[in-house]
Amino acid sequence: MTITVQQIQYTTDPDAWHALARGLGLQPVPGGDDVWSEFAGDGVLAIHRVDTVAEERTEIVLLTDTPAALDDLERVLTDVGATVRRTVLDDIGPLLVVDGPLPMSATTSTSTSATDTSATDTSATDSSALTVMPIWYGADLTAQAAVAEAAGLRRRLTSDSGVWVDFTAVGGGALALHRADQDGVELSFEYSGDLDALAARLTEAGYQPRILDEAYNRTLRVARPDGPDLWVNGVQRDLYGYTRSS
């Protein structure tokens, strides 16, 4: 079972998100339109048009490589105590909806692989340097981490304080869990390339990015079409206060 992480941004302004995705260096997957489009990097960003601001949100999706893998995923998630229900959508087919403890959905991918950009123009930037990394926030991370690991995601970094744990997916993308008072999902990315070069490309595209020094690494912030700034974190190399899983 090969899992790819996808984050879906529901928005009333898909054109602005398409432009930002390209500015970040993500590659458009053929077949997109104004209602639904996908952009490939390390993992997948999907843009879904909605009619009202109240519907704007970010969702976590796990993409399986085969229908049989989706069945396997349903079994392992149920075994670890997740609340899972199965439905069928006309446009995508079977869909698993995980209501808790880590809200997300899962389906079988029918589009270009997240790591296969051979059909797109990669001359401007290396799209694989940009990893989709949705962040789930909640008061407790124990059960959520168990769900992520049961789904086949590989634990990578864990903070000694228990505030942060992140995972990577074999098929591309990553998922982070962050302890917080309120539950929620935030769209974010991690960048393994030169943040200054990425900032320069965004500036040329008409954006006003800022690079800040955080305790864990440098991070790029840029205004998004809706909501707070988008964070693009540099890869964390200083592991003081963190444990890296082998």
**φ, ψ dihedrals at 161, nearest 5°:** -80, -15
Other CB atoms within 10 A of residue 214 CB: 11
Q: In whole angstroms, what is the distance from residue 128 CA to residue 134 CA?
A: 16
Which amino acid makes up residue 85? R
3-108 has which CATH code?
Answer: 3.10.180.10
Q: What is the pTM of this model?
A: 0.93
Cβ-contact 210, 198 below 8 angstroms: no
Other CB atoms within 10 A of residue 221 CB: 17
**φ, ψ dihedrals at 182, nearest 5°:** -120, 145
Cβ-contact 132, 45 below 8 angstroms: yes
129-244 belongs to which homologous superfamily? Answer: 2,3-Dihydroxybiphenyl 1,2-Dioxygenase, domain 1 (3.10.180.10)
CA 125 to chain centre: 19
Which amino acid makes up residue 89? L
- Written as tens digits, the pLDDT of the chain (246 aa) is 899 999 999 999 999 999 999 999 999 999 999 999 999 999 999 999 999 999 999 999 999 999 999 999 999 999 999 999 999 998 888 999 999 999 999 999 865 444 444 334 444 457 789 999 999 999 999 999 999 999 999 999 999 999 999 999 999 999 999 999 999 999 999 999 999 999 999 999 999 999 998 767 899 999 999 878 999 999 998 888 999 996
**φ, ψ dihedrals at 79, nearest 5°:** -60, -30
**Is the C-alpha dihedral spanning 233, 239, 241, 244 positive or negative?**
positive
* Residue ranges, CATH 3.10.180.10, the chain: 3-108, 129-244
